[in-house]
Every structure is written in structure tokens, then in C-alpha cells.
Amino acid sequence: MAMRTLDPDMSISVLENTLVQVSVPGRFERLERNPDLYVDVGHNPHAANWLSARLKVLKVGGRKIHAVYAALMDKDVEGVAQAMASVVDSWHLAGLDVPRGLGAETLRAKLAPCNLEQVSVHDSVANAVAAAKAGAASNDILIVFGSFFTVAEARRLFF
């Protein structure tokens, strides 16, 4: 819409060729391969449903998905976890040391009703990522998600 507003006469082919090159850092962004490590800023159930659908497509050939999840205290963490539970094989819950950030143990307690399997807690996103990588096979997928703060901390590990 912005491109059409700036140039109403822009051809469809120029518009399509431009849009195919657009990427949004932190939105299903792959940071590493073998295992594939993605980050996503999805922090509500709607975004988690979208993310779960994307991961389900990649979960073939015995690939496992290891999630690193950290969130803010005012988010629907239970709804997010329920949206992701069908694709995640192991959970690495991390604390966020920011205003409104949930500690890992508090996050685990909030997610207890979800009956998640293979859950571990870590004091930071960096430690959770390290643990997830250590437990992953080279063909597995790691997804780091839950808030912009979560993704920012993970991206600092790679850039």
C-alpha cells in the first residue's frame, strides 16, 4: 500500500520484485544453520499460531523443534504455549531481565497448566540458546521467540 501511494503508476512486476526482497529482522529470521536457528518476535497467540504453522511445514524427516521462550509478564503466555505445543519437542524457558520481564521459574509456573513436555529453565536467553543447541541434532530446528526483548538478546549472540 505504501508503494502504491508513493507511485500509483508502479507496474505490478516492479511491485512484486521489490516485495519479494523485503525481510523483517526478527520475524522468522534464520540466524544459523546445522541446526537451523530461527528467531521470531511472536508474543501473542495469533502470532504463535502463525509461527507454529510455519514450523510444522519444516518438521519433516524426524526433525525435532527445540524452543527457547521468554516473555513479558503482561502477555498471554499460556495461549502462546498452547499454540506452539503441537510442534515443540523441548522447551527452554528463559528469564528476561527487563522491566516487565518474567523470570524463568515464574514462566514455568504460568505454563504448568499447559502440561508441556521436556521443559528446562535458564536465567537468560543466551544460556537457554546454548542448552537448546547442545541438545539438538544438526538437522533439528531451534526457534527463539516470545518478545522483541527475547529476539534482541538472541540476535546479539550472532551479530
| Residue 14 belongs to some domain of the structure | no
| Residue 10 belongs to some domain of the structure | no
Where does the chain have alpha helices with state H?
A: 2-6, 12-19, 45-58, 77-84, 104-111, 125-134, 148-156
* Rounded average pLDDT over 10-38: 91
| Residue 20 belongs to some domain of the structure | no
Domain of residue 64, CATH code: 3.90.190.20
What does the alpha-carbon distance between residue 44 and residue 112 come to, in Å, rounded to a whole number?
Answer: 18
What does the alpha-carbon distance between residue 68 and residue 24 come to, in Å, rounded to a whole number?
Answer: 20
| Residue 45 belongs to some domain of the structure | yes
pLDDT in tens, 102-123: 999 999 999 999 999 999 999 9
Is residue 71 within 8 A of residue 151, CB to CB? The reply is: no
Over its C-alpha atoms, the chain yields an Rg (Å, rounded) of 17
Tell if the pTM clears 0.85, that is, is over it: yes
Please give the residue range of the domain that contains residue 123: 27-156
> Binning pLDDT at 50, 70 and 90, where does residue 135 land?
very high
Number of folded domains in the chain?
Answer: 1
What does the alpha-carbon distance between residue 66 and residue 141 come to, in Å, rounded to a whole number?
Answer: 6
pLDDT in tens, 47-82: 999 999 999 999 999 999 999 999 999 999 999 999
Is residue 85 within 8 A of residue 114, CB to CB? The reply is: yes
